[in-house]
C-alpha cells in the first residue's frame, strides 16, 4: 500500500498536518472502523430503510406461514418452525445486495473520490462499507427472529442454538457480500446492481431448502437444490435451531463461505482498485 518513506520538507504553508505519515495495519483498521461508523450513521439516518428491513421479514414470515403453511405441512405451526431458519437466511442473503448497491452509489456520487484523495488506507472505504453492512445484516437477523417469536416460534435449540445459527448465516453473508461488492464495482449504475441481484438471488434462495424440502421438488431440480450452498446454510441453521445432526451442513456452510470468499474477495478488491 502507500507506506512511503518521507523525506524532510518544510512545513506546509496552509497549516499543520495531522494525517499519519504512513499507513500501518492499525491505522488501516481505524480508517475502516471510522467508515463503518459512516455506514451505521446512514442506516440510522434512513428510517425508511430500517423500516424496509423490518417490513420485508414481517411480510414474508406472515404470508408464507399463513398462506402456505397448511397446504405444505398440514398445519401452519409445523411449517412456521420449518420456515423460520430459511426465511432468516433468505432475508440476510437479500440484504447482502445492499452492499454492492451502496458501493456503486458512492462511486457514482463521487464520494469515493473524496475518500481516495485523503491520506487514508486505500482499502478503508471497502472494508468500512462491509463492516457497516454486517451491522445491517445483524439487524435483519434480529428482526426476523422477533417476528418469529411473536407468532410463537420457540426453537428447541434455545438461545445457544439461535446464536450459533445466526453467527453461521452472518458468516455466509460476509462471504456473499464480497460477491455483492464485486458486482457493485463492476456494474455501471446502482440500478444495474439491483437487477443483477434479483436475477441471481431469487433462484439461489427459492431453489434451496429454505421454503420447501428438495425431496419434494421435481427430479431435475432436487439434486440442484440439494447441492445449493444456501441449502447447506439453511439445513445447518435448522439443525442448530430445531435439533438434528448439524455437523454435516455446518461443515458445508464453512466450506462454501471460504470458497466464496476466496473467489470474490480478490475479485472485489481487484474491481475496487480498477474502478477507483
Partner 1 sequence: MTDAIRAEGLVKRFKGKTALDGVDLTAKSGAVLGVLGPNGSGKTTTVRILSTLLRPDAGHATVGGFDVVSQPHEVRRQIGLTGQYAAVDAELTGTQNLVLIARLLGFGRTDARARAKELLERFGLSDAADRPAKTYSGGMRRRLDLAASLVGRPALLYLDEPTTGLDPHSRIGLWEVVRGLVSDGVTVLLTTQYLEEADQLADDIMVLDHGRVISRGTPEELKNRAGDQVLQLRTVDPAQLPLASRIVEAVTSTPVTTDGLLVSVPVTDSGVLPETVRRLDEQGVAVAELSLRRPSLDEVFLALTGHTAEDETAGRPANEGISA
Residues that bind partner 1 (CB under 8 A): 2-4, 6, 9, 12-23, 31, 34-35, 37-38, 41-42, 45-46, 109-111, 113-120, 124, 276
Contact call for residues 87 and 64 (beta carbons, < 8 A) = yes
* Residue 227 DSSP class: T
Q: Which of 208-225 are b and which e, b meaning 16 or more Cβ less than 10 Å from the residue's Cβ?
A: bbbbbbbeebeeeeeeeb
Query: Smallest gap, in angstroms, from Cβ of residue 30 to partner 1?
Result: 9
Looking at beta carbons only, is 131 or 239 nearer to partner 1?
Answer: 131
Query: Smallest gap, in angstroms, from Cβ of residue 50 to partner 1?
Result: 12
Query: Smallest gap, in angstroms, from Cβ of residue 143 to partner 1?
Result: 20
- State how far the Cα of 160 lies from the Cα of 143, in Å rounded to an integer: 18
What cell does 60 get?
414474508
Q: What is the DSSP string of 134-187?
A: HHHHHHHHHHHHHHHHHTT---TTHHHHHHHHHHHHHHHHHHHHHHHHHHHHHS
Query: Smallest gap, in angstroms, from Cβ of residue 182 to partner 1?
Result: 21
What cell does 173 get?
453473508
Looking at beta carbons only, is 22 or 221 nearer to partner 1?
Answer: 22
Looking at beta carbons only, is 13 or 154 nearer to partner 1?
Answer: 13
Query: Smallest gap, in angstroms, from Cβ of residue 105 to partner 1?
Result: 10
Contact call for residues 62 and 85 (beta carbons, < 8 A) = no
Query: Smallest gap, in angstroms, from Cβ of residue 197 to partner 1?
Result: 21
Which helix (H) or strand (E) segment holds residue 213: the answer is none
Looking at beta carbons only, is 61 or 193 nearer to partner 1?
Answer: 193
- State how far the Cα of 250 lies from the Cα of 240, in Å rounded to an integer: 9
Give whole-number Cα distances, 22 to 2, 26, 57, 196, 273, in Å: 7, 11, 45, 39, 20
Looking at beta carbons only, is 31 or 238 nearer to partner 1?
Answer: 31
Contact call for residues 60 and 91 (beta carbons, < 8 A) = yes
Cα 200 → chain centroid: 14
Looking at beta carbons only, is 113 or 216 nearer to partner 1?
Answer: 113
Looking at beta carbons only, is 98 or 207 nearer to partner 1?
Answer: 98
Query: Smallest gap, in angstroms, from Cβ of residue 21 to partner 1?
Result: 8
Amino acid at each position: 500500500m502507500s507506506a512511503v518513506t518521507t523525506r524532510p520538507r518544510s512545513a506546509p504553508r496552509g497549516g499543520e498536518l495531522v494525517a499519519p505519515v504512513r499507513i500501518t495495519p492499525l491505522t488501516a483498521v481505524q480508517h475502516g472502523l471510522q467508515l463503518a461508523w459512516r455506514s451505521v450513521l446512514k442506516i440510522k439516518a434512513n428510517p425508511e430503510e430500517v423500516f424496509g428491513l423490518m417490513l420485508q421479514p414481517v411480510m414474508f414470515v406472515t404470508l408464507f406461514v399463513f398462506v402456505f403453511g397448511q397446504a405444505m405441512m398440514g398445519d401452519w405451526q409445523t411449517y412456521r418452525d420449518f420456515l423460520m431458519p430459511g426465511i432468516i437466511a433468505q432475508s440476510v442473503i437479500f440484504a447482502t445486495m445492499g452492499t454492492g448497491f451502496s458501493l456503486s452509489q458512492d462511486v457514482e456520487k463521487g464520494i469515493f473520490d473524496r475518500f481516495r484523495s485523503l491520506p487514508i488506507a486505500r482499502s478503508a472505504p471497502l472494508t468500512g462499507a462491509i463492516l457497516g453492512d454486517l451491522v445491517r445484516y445483524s439487524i435483519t437477523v434480529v428482526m426476523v427472529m422477533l417476528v418469529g417469536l411473536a407468532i410463537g416460534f420457540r426453537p428447541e435449540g434455545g438461545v445457544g442454538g439461535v446464536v450459533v445459527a445466526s453467527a453461521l448465516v452472518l458468516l455466509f453473508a460476509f462471504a456473499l457480500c464480497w460477491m455483492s461488492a464485486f458486482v457493485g464495482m463492476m456494474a455501471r449504475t446502482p440500478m444495474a446492481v439491483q437487477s443483477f441481484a434479483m436475477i441471481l438471488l431469487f433462484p439461489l434462495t427459492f431453489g434451496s431448502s429454505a421454503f420447501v424440502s428438495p425431496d419434494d421438488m421435481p427430479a431435475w431440480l432436487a439434486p440442484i437444490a440439494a447441492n445449493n450452498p444456501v441449502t447447506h446454510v439453511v439445513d445447518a441453521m435448522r439443525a442448530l435451531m430445531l435439533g438434528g445432526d448439524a455437523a454435516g451442513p455446518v461443515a458445508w456452510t464453512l466450506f462454501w463461505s471460504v470458497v466464496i470468499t476466496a473467489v470474490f474477495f480478490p475479485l472485489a478488491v481487484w474491481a475496487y482498485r480498477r474502478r477507483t
